[in-house]
Structure 1
Amino acid sequence: MGANSLDKRMSEILSCFYGVERAGAVRLSDGGGPFGFDVHTALLFEEIAVAYRPAAIVETGCFLGDTTAYLAGAYSEIPIFTCDIDAGAAQFTASRLSGSDHVVVKHCDSPSLVAEVSERHSPILLFLDAHWGEGWPLARELAAIHDGVAVIHDFDIGHPRFDHDEYDGVRCGPDVLKQLSNIPDVFFTPEPDAADYPLPCLQVGRRAGVGIVPIGVDHGPLDENPHLTRHSLSALRGTETAAS
């Protein structure tokens, strides 16, 4: 891709990102907005999309559709599937995105949506954000992926500026990955101090970490990404296999 095409694509990404109305501000601690109003996450998502060329994008936990609206605008040629277990939130997001024919909004349990899309499309790119209140579905979501890259929101990246969630004494982070029946070889986290981000992040409130987990796909493109740090879980996977 030439320099002019890259500049045009960056302009499209930023226009979509900053053009989204932040409906999530009614409840979310980060004030709403795409990816919690963290433009670096949007840029990272784009880098992963370019590297893997997903056949579909899945979002779980759409709430009022801020991230969904961004994805709909930024990836207009890719089928996008999203859901929420709250019927009112799903209905609101479906109405908000009613003009986007490539977006499907469902009121359902998120692992069932991941499994459905994973059966029909390969590879898929996921933004997993369905962790609020009781019934944390993250482990079941990850287990339902056949081939794809999962970007997990509110993930513990071990940096004081980035927050994470915790449920029943388990951090949203490596602790969850260690509990999977099929432990991934590796996962990745953003490098917060990378010097070559093309623009600053304007999120001055709660900023959440993200974890990136390749499942059933080559993790080489993630290894080559200068904004990511690789973490190995292969030793744990070997222990799990030996124990079974």
Structure 2
Amino acid sequence: MDRRALAALIDHTCLAPGAGAGDIDAACDTALAFGMRVCVAPVWVPRARARVRDAVGVVTVAGFPHGNTTTAAKCAEARDALLAGASEVDMVMHIGALKDGDEGAVGADIQAVAVVVHRNSGCLLKVIIETALLSPEEILLACRLSVAGGADLVKTSTGFAAAGATVENVRLMRRALPDGVGIKAAGGIRDYAAAVAMIDAGATRIGASASAEILRGAPKT
């Protein structure tokens, strides 16, 4: 896969809790240089949108990183971010409810945020399921509930758990998801070979902070 094609699949991520204005500007400039989306925390969406204008997409998060905020809070985060210029929201599912087997709570949480996001034409919802905390059976359930709730993509990880995306989990998710629902692999993807391995396993989007390093390893054409 050449550099341009791979860049189009990457959300260049700057979600570190200590990230300041200079870090956000640098992330935006990197995204612009390579033609990637930029993913920032909700508070930084207005700055990111002003920096990139309409050149690349702005992605943000809701209920991040643990997923245990209220549904109302996740909806408010999503609504505010979309008004500020985000075009995609990566929400963290209610992981505790999933572990408890409370499918109703998990599904209602996702569906409520999906309604907010999809009121805005062309905006996408990704549901982060945090695969490092789940058994294979729970990953399958999380995928099913995400689809039923209205997810456009299902995302492996926040990058804040003990482990991030694995090829095995991406393959498992791909088998569980319909063709129209994408997979965002995130967490620990730091070079070109790792990114391509995730794509070969079924990922349709990559989330990474090491995006420039990944792309430098890609063929230019």
The alignment's TM-score, normalised by the length of structure 2, stands at: 0.36
The alignment's TM-score, normalised by the length of structure 1, stands at: 0.34
